[in-house]
Amino acid sequence: MKVVKFGGTSLANGAQLEKVIRIMQADSSRQVMVVSAPGKRFSNDQKVTDLMLSFAKIVLAGAEDSHIIQTIVNRYLEIAHYFKIETTELKLTLNKKLIALKQQHYPNFDYLYAAFIGHGEYLNAMVITQILNHIGCHARFMSPKALGLQTTGSPLAATLDPRSYQQMAWLTLDPQEIIVVPGFFAYDDQGYMTTFKRGGSDITGAILSHGLKPTLYENFTDVSSIFIASPKIVSHPMPINHLTYREMRELAYAGFSVLSDEAIVPVIQDSIPIQIKNTNAPDADGTLIVPQRTNDLSLLPITGIASDTRFAALYTHRYLLNSEIGFTLKLLNILYRHHISYEHMPTGIDDLSIIFDKQLSSPAQFAAMRADIARELHPDILEWYDDYAVIMVVGEGMANNPHIINDILTPLSQNNIKISMINQGASRISVMLGLPVNQAQLAVQTIYYHFFGQ
């Protein structure tokens, strides 16, 4: 049995969904289908999730919402029309569901946003199930609630309660039937809809894989493989045939958006391979993500170079910081008080930097935190870098290569790229670099061309 996830680009319109259905029909072991909300149909189009987010903002502003509701409903109707479905009833249902979202009670705004954006997937799974049955392909919609997926944590970046897996173990699959599961959202213990972080349908696919133990978790997207660097940064980068879980996790964390970094953890325990495949070229081999690579690591200086610009950095300097007992504790207490998590904290003798993910806290939270640090800890220097990028150079082969840091840094310095932080992970399979956002692309290109040529 295989769990198969289709991303938003694979479900953007009727023609894309037709390809998806052909993929499902081509292999009877593809029994569980996880779907995202319809993605972009063309480059400056809007994903349905982003339309839902606009809808939520319009509702919160008390503004006129009939136009956005119509735009969202039309995205689904366009898909249904492609399959020649009679849409009068569907149109009514979609409108009703969207209007009902405005009338529900939410404990706070984050829950409201979660319910609105989660409905992109909910409605898509509902429509896709109807289309599959309409064309004679036996399908059943299955809500995350029916599967027992219960979350904890914040409503827009929820994590799965591990007890959820008990209920999933009872699910029996009918080989004649496709189960359609909406990705990205689940429910908390109060029954409120919550979402995983953005891109989280990959996480649903991974959770179902851990729960249902398929032989393979196939993840269909719009590229034929994962490349050594993002094709948005390097033109025609080389493909990666095999990646290990830990390589993928580090690369996904730092910008390989093709798979969510949180989609690795659930499959590790059972060693379920993840195969990235292209909906537009399903016969291409894709990239296989596995526990260990069997090919000769010494041939590969590095496996991938990722970069992400979602970070900010705080630099503090105070003489004798290394000998002051409790300094870091006080600092972390301030973060705790402001409900701020941090990503990395490289330290020197008299200096300490903290790197934050800007998506996880608001500018107001960061400003209040900085004010408290200045007032309570009196650093000699306190600087804030709002546009901070992290580059992750990753490869299992790096652990045995004593020259690797030099090989990465030399071409960067030759190109006048100033690195403000270097951190070699304890696993020694990655080197993390911190630098200003406006240098990040050039840095990735420079490292890529140095190792792999133009």
Ligand X SMILES: N[C@@H](CC(=O)OP(=O)(O)O)C(=O)O
Binding residues for ligand X, rule: CB under 6 A, are 7-8, 36-37, 39, 47, 49, 120, 183-184, 198-202
CA distance 258 to 227: 10
Measured from the CB atom, the residue of 196 and 256 that comes closer to ligand ADP is 256
Site string for ligand ADP, 14-43 (x = CB under 6 A): ----------------------x--x----
Half-sphere exposure in the Cβ direction for 335 (13 Å, CA): 17
Window of 91-99, 105-113, 220-228, 379-387 that interacts with ligand ADP by CB under 6 A: 220-228
CA distance 119 to 148: 18
Site string for ligand ADP, 105-124 (x = CB under 6 A): --------------------
Choose the one of ligand X, ligand ADP, none that binds residue 227, judging by a C-beta under 5 to 8 angstroms depending on kind.
Answer: ligand ADP
Window of 114-122, 217-225, 261-269, 361-369 that interacts with ligand ADP by CB under 6 A: 217-225
The reply to whether 45 sits near ligand ADP by the rule CB under 6 A is: no
Choose the one of ligand ADP, ligand X, none that binds residue 232, judging by a C-beta under 5 to 8 angstroms depending on kind.
Answer: ligand ADP
Q: How far is the CB of 118 from ligand X (least distance, A)?
A: 9
Q: Which residues pair with 347 in a beta bridge?
A: 352
What is the rounded end-to-end Cα distance, in angstroms, of the chain? 41
Measured from the CB atom, the residue of 200 and 301 that comes closer to ligand X is 200
CA distance 269 to 216: 14
Choose the one of ligand ADP, ligand X, none that binds residue 396, judging by a C-beta under 5 to 8 angstroms depending on kind.
Answer: none
Site string for ligand ADP, 237-276 (x = CB under 6 A): -------------------xxx------------------
Alpha carbon of 276 to those of 221, 235, 243, 279: distances in Å?
Answer: 7, 20, 11, 10
CA distance 414 to 408: 11
Q: Report the amino acid identity of residue 196.
A: F
Q: How far is the CB of 35 from ligand X (least distance, A)?
A: 9
Q: In what order do the strands lie in the sheet with 351-357?
A: 351-357, 304-317, 381-394, 430-436, 421-424
According to DSSP, the β-strands at 2-6 and 216-221 are: parallel
Task: Pull the structure tokens for residue 145.
Answer: 């609630």
- Residues ≥6 apart with Cβ < 8 Å to 425: 250, 431, 432
Q: How far is the CB of 274 from ligand ADP (least distance, A)?
A: 13
The reply to whether 221 sits near ligand ADP by the rule CB under 6 A is: yes
Residue ranges that bind ligand ADP, judged by CB under 6 A: 7-10, 36, 39, 199, 221-223, 226-227, 229-232, 256-258
